[in-house]
Structure 1
Amino acid sequence: MLFNSYPFIFLFLPITLLGYFAFGRLGNLAPVIWLALASLAFYSFSNWQFVALLLASIAFNYGIGYLLIERSLAPAPRFAVLTAGVAGDLIVLGIFKYAGFLAANLDALFLTGITLHVLLPVGISFYTFTQIAFLVDAYRGNVARYALPHYALFVTYFPHLIAGPILHHKDMIPQFERAETKRPDAHLILCGLMIFAIGLFKKTGLADGIQPLVATAFGSGNPSFDQAWIGALAYAFQLYFDFSGYCDMAIGISLMFGIFLPLNFNSPYKATSIVDFWRRWHMTLSQFLRDYLYIPLGGNRRGRVLRYVNLMITMLLGGLWHGAAWTFVVWGALHGFYLCVNHAWSNYGPSAPPRLAPLAKFASVVLTFLAVVVAWVFFRADSIAQAQFILSRMVDPGHVSFGRGEIADFGFLVVYAALAWLAPNTQEIMGYDHGNRRVGDAIGVWRMRPVLIYATAAVLAFGILGISQHSEFIYFRF
C-alpha cells in the first residue's frame, strides 16, 4: 500500500487512527497491539507472502536480544550470540537481495548457467538494519528490557516500515510506552496533516511531474549534450522531491499518532560539501553507517590512510545496500572518493579569505551539487555502460540539439532548482523539533488555525488530485 493512494488516505489511515485512540481508553497495551496489527496489515497489502518472514525476523531478533540483555552469559558466549544474530540477519538479507546478483556474476565469469530470480521483500533492508542496531546495542549494554508488543511495533511501525527512516530503539520504544501518546492531540493531528499534505504534493505534484524529463537522457538511446543534462538534472530533482515527500509524509502520519520520527532529510542540495551532504541526505542511514560500520572499522582513530580506507569500505557497502548492481557499487565508490577528497581538502587545502567567503560558499554548493549529479547518473542508469555514455555526452558540447522543447525543459528545471535552494524546507516551515518533541510553534498553529486549515486543505487537495494510478516511491525498491 502506498501513502499516495486513495485506499490509504481515505480508508486505512482514518480507521487506524480511530482504532488507536479508541483502544487507548482501555489501557496502555491495547493500542500498541492494535497499531502493530495495523502495521502488519499495511505491509500485507503489497507483500502478503513475506509477512511470515517479517514475523520470523522479529521473533529471532527479539530472542537474540533477550539473551544479550539478560547478561547472564560469559563474554565469549555473548559475543557468539551477537555474531549468530547479526549473521542470521545478513544471511536472510543476502539471500533475498544479493543471491541473484551473485549468481549472475558467477555465470558471467565461469559460464555456470545458473540464474536466480528472487522476489525482494519490500522494506527488508530497513527492518534488517533497524534490528541489527538493536542487537549491537543490546550487546553493548545500552538496551533496556522491552515487552514483545512494543518491540514488534518498533520494527513494524508502518510510517517507517517500507522506506525508512531507520529507527533507533532508544528513540521510539519509550514513545510507544508513554500513555499520553494514546490520546488524541488536536495540535499534533493538525500539524501532522499539514506535513503530510506538503509531502503528498511534493510526491504527486513535483516528483511525478518531472518524471517524463528523466527519459530525455535515460530513456533515449542517443541523447545530445543538452538532453543528457536535462535528464540527469531532472532525475536529481525527481529523487530529491520523491524522497523528501516520503520523509514528510512519514513524519506527518506519525505525528497524528503522537509519535515523533527522526528527521531523515534536510535540504541536502544546500550542502556546502559532500560531508555536509551526507549529514542532510538519508540522515538515519548515514548515522547507522557511521555508528555501526565506520566507527567499528576504526573510524579516524588509526591514522589518515586507514581513515580513507574505512570511508571507502563504508560507502561501497552503503552503495550495495541500495541495490544489488554494479551501478550502485560505482555510486558508493564515487561518494567514498568524494568524502576522501573532502577530508583531504579540509586537512591540507587553503582557506578562503574572509572577503571571498560568500563566493567560496556559493562555489562549494555548486561543486557539491554537480558531484552529486554525476553520481546520480550511475544510481539511475540501467548499466555502467549507459551511465558512461550519458556522462560522455554531458561533457561533449559538440552534440547539441537545443530546440524549443529543450529551452522549455530547462526553464522547468530552474523552477525546481529555486524550490530546492531558495525555499525553506518543511521542518523550517513547521518548526519541527524532533529532539524536544515540539512542532508548530514557529508559525503559531493555533493563532492562525483557520488560515492553516484552509491552506492544508488546498495543498492536500492538489496532492490528492495529482495521484496517479500507481506511482511508487523510488526508495521502495531498496
Structure 2
Amino acid sequence: MLFNSFVFLLVFLPAALALHALVERRRPGWRLPLLVLLSFVFYGWWDVRFVPLLLGSILANWLVARAFVRAPVRWLIPAAIAANLAVLALFKYLDFFADLASLVPGVEAPRLGWVLPLGISFFTFHHIMYLTDLRAGRAPAFGLTKYALYIAFFPQVLAGPLVRWSEIMHQFDERPYARPDAAERIGRGLMLLVVGLSKKVFFGDPLAGYVNPVFQAAAAGKAVTMAEAWQATLGFTFQIYFDFSGYTDMALGIALLFGLVLPQNFDVPYRSASLREFWRRWHMTLSRFLRDYLYIPLGGNRRGLAIQVGALFATMTLGGLWHGAGLTFVAWGALHGAGLGAGILFRRASLRMPGVVGWTLTFLFVALTWVLFRATSFEAALIVFKGLFGLGPAGTGFKWRTIAVAAAVATVGPSAWAAVHRLPPSRLIAAAFALLFVVVLLKIGDDGNYDFIYFQF
C-alpha cells in the first residue's frame, strides 16, 4: 500500500481518519490502541508474514525495557541492542557477508536470498534510540500501547523520519481535535500530503525514466555516453531528493492529520556550501542519530583531532552500510566520511572558501558519489564515471528540461514544511491545493508509479 496509490489515498487513509475522529470524540481512551491497530493493518498490507516480526520486536524490546526499570542490570540493554542488530544483520546482511566470504579462494558461502522486511532498518534504530536513552537515565518507562505506537506508527514505520521518543511520546496524551489550532493542523497536513505527492509524481517518477535506462545499461556492461552519464547522474541527484523528501512531506502531513508532529527531515540540502552543512540538511534525523548514537560514543570531537576524524570516517562508513548491503554503499559512506574529515582539517587550518566555490564543490561531490549509491556494482559505477569524464562515447540528446526544473525547485525555493506554514488560511489556496490533488490523482492513474527509493533500505 504505497502512499502514492489509490488504495491508500482513497480507501485506507479516509477510513482511518474517519475512525480516528469518531474514537477521539466518543472514546478518547481507545485512540492510541486504534492507531496501533491501523499501523499493523498498514504494515501487514505489504506482507502479512512480517507482522509477527514487527510485533515480536516491539514486545521483546518493551519487556527488556520493563525488566531494566525493575532491575537495572548494566549488561541487559547492550545485549538487547546487540540482539536487535543481529536480527537486522540476519535479514539484511547475511547474503552480503556470504558474498564477502566467497571472495576468499576456496570458500563458497551459500546465499539464502531472504526477503528484506520493509522498515526493519528504521524500526531497529527506533529501538536502539529508546533503549540507549533508557540505560542513560534520559528516558522513562512507557506502557506497551505507547511503545508499540512509537515504533509502528504507520506514516513513519517504513522509511522514517527517525523519531526520538522525546519528540513524540508526550503528544500521545493530547486530545488533538480539541486543540485551538486543530483545523489549521489538518489544513497544513493536507497541504503537506499534496506537496509530497506532487514531488513524487511530477519530479521523482519522471526523473526515474532519465536515470534507470542508463544505470541498467551500465549494469549490463554497455558503454555509456557522456551525455547519458551526466543525464543519469544529475537525474538521480534530484530524483532521490524529490522521492525521499516527497515521502517525508507526506509522512509529516499524514501525521498532522492524526494530531502528531513529526520532525523535519530535509531543509533544502542542495543549497549547502559545505559537506557538513549538507548532512545537517539531508536526512536530518538520520544525521542526528549517527551523531548522537555512534559518532559521539566513538569519541566525537572530545579526544583530539585523530580520534575525531577516525570517528567521523567510521560513522559515515557504517552509515553507508546501513543504507544497503553492498560494497558500493560502504564506499559511498566512506567517501562522505573522508570528505567530512577533509572539511575538519580545512577549518582547523583556518582556510576560507568563497561561498560559490564551496557550493559548487559540495554539489559536485554529492552528485558524483550518488553514482556509487545508485550503481549495482563497482563495474557499473566505473562505466558511468568513464562516461562522466569523457572516456566513453561523446553522445548527444541530453534530456535537460525536467532536470533543469527539478534543480530550480530543489535549490531556490524553501522547504515544503516552511512553505506550507507560511501560507495564510485562504479559500483560494485551499481550492488550488484541491485542484492540484485531483491532477495528481489523474497522473497516478498513468501506470508510471514507482516504489519509494528508501523502502529498500
TM-score scaled by length of structure 2 = 0.95
Offset, 1:412:
3.1
Whether 1:382 and 2:361 are equivalent positions in the alignment is no
Does the aligned pair in 2 maintain the 1:272–1:365 contact within 8 Å? yes
Whether 1:89 and 2:84 are equivalent positions in the alignment is yes
Paired position in structure 1 for 2:124: 128
Q: For 1:455, which of 407, 432, 439 is the aligned residue?
A: 432
Offset, 1:181:
5.2
Q: How does 1:240-259 map to 2 (within 5 A)?
A: 240-259=241-260
**CA–CA distance in structure 1, aligned partners of residues 97 and 213 of structure 2:** 32
Paired position in structure 2 for 1:107: 102
Instruction: Spell out, residue by residue over 1:296-321, the C-alpha distance to the aligned partner (whole angstroms, 9 max, x if none).
Output: 11101111011111011101110010
Relative to 1, partners in 2 of residues 1:181 and 1:101: Cα closer, same or farther, differing over 3 Å? farther
Offset, 1:331:
0.5
Does the aligned pair in 2 maintain the 1:69–1:141 contact within 8 Å? no
Does the aligned pair in 2 maintain the 1:322–1:328 contact within 8 Å? yes
Offset, 1:185:
2.5
Whether 1:347 and 2:348 are equivalent positions in the alignment is yes
Paired position in structure 2 for 1:19: 19
Does the aligned pair in 1 maintain the 2:23–2:30 contact within 8 Å? yes
TM-score scaled by length of structure 1 = 0.91
Does the aligned pair in 2 maintain the 1:236–1:373 contact within 8 Å? yes
Instruction: Spell out, residue by residue over 1:163-203, the C-alpha distance to the aligned partner (whole angstroms, 9 max, x if none).
Output: 00111111111111223357793221111111100100100
Secondary structure at 1:120 match in 2: coil
Aligned identity (percent) is 39
Relative to 1, partners in 2 of residues 1:82 and 1:281: Cα closer, same or farther, differing over 3 Å? same
Alignment size in residue pairs: 449
Instruction: Spell out, residue by residue over 1:9-36, the C-alpha distance to the aligned partner (whole angstroms, 9 max, x if none).
Output: 0110011111111111344430100011
Q: For 1:162, which of 158, 161, 179 is the aligned residue?
A: 158
Secondary structure at 2:297 match in 1: helix
Q: Which runs of 5+ in 1 are unaligned?
A: 353-359, 432-441
Offset, 1:462:
2.3
Offset, 1:112:
2.1
Q: Which amino acid in 2 is paired with 1:427?
A: W
Secondary structure at 1:79 match in 2: coil
**CA–CA distance in structure 2, aligned partners of residues 350 and 2 of structure 1:** 47
**CA–CA distance in structure 2, aligned partners of residues 20 and 417 of structure 1:** 39
**CA–CA distance in structure 1, aligned partners of residues 279 and 177 of structure 2:** 32
**CA–CA distance in structure 1, aligned partners of residues 316 and 293 of structure 2:** 13
Paired position in structure 1 for 2:171: 175
Does the aligned pair in 1 maintain the 2:176–2:182 contact within 8 Å? no
Paired position in structure 1 for 2:52: 52
**CA–CA distance in structure 2, aligned partners of residues 300 and 189 of structure 1:** 42
Q: Which amino acid in 2 is paired with 1:472?
A: D
Q: Which amino acid in 2 is paired with 1:108?
A: L
Does the aligned pair in 1 maintain the 2:161–2:263 contact within 8 Å? yes
**CA–CA distance in structure 2, aligned partners of residues 399 and 197 of structure 1:** 41
Q: How does 1:347-426 map to 2 (within 5 A)?
A: 347-352=348-353, 360-396=354-390, 399-402=393-396, 405-406=397-398, 409-426=399-416
**CA–CA distance in structure 1, aligned partners of residues 2 and 80 of structure 2:** 31
Q: Which runs of 5+ in 2 are unaligned?
A: none
**CA–CA distance in structure 2, aligned partners of residues 323 and 7 of structure 1:** 29
Paired position in structure 2 for 1:355: none
Relative to 1, partners in 2 of residues 1:246 and 1:262: Cα closer, same or farther, differing over 3 Å? same
Relative to 1, partners in 2 of residues 1:147 and 1:42: Cα closer, same or farther, differing over 3 Å? same
Offset, 1:397:
6.5
**CA–CA distance in structure 2, aligned partners of residues 187 and 158 of structure 1:** 22
Cα root mean square deviation, aligned? 1.6
Which deviates further from its counterpart, 390-399 or 320-329?
390-399
Does the aligned pair in 1 maintain the 2:176–2:258 contact within 8 Å? no
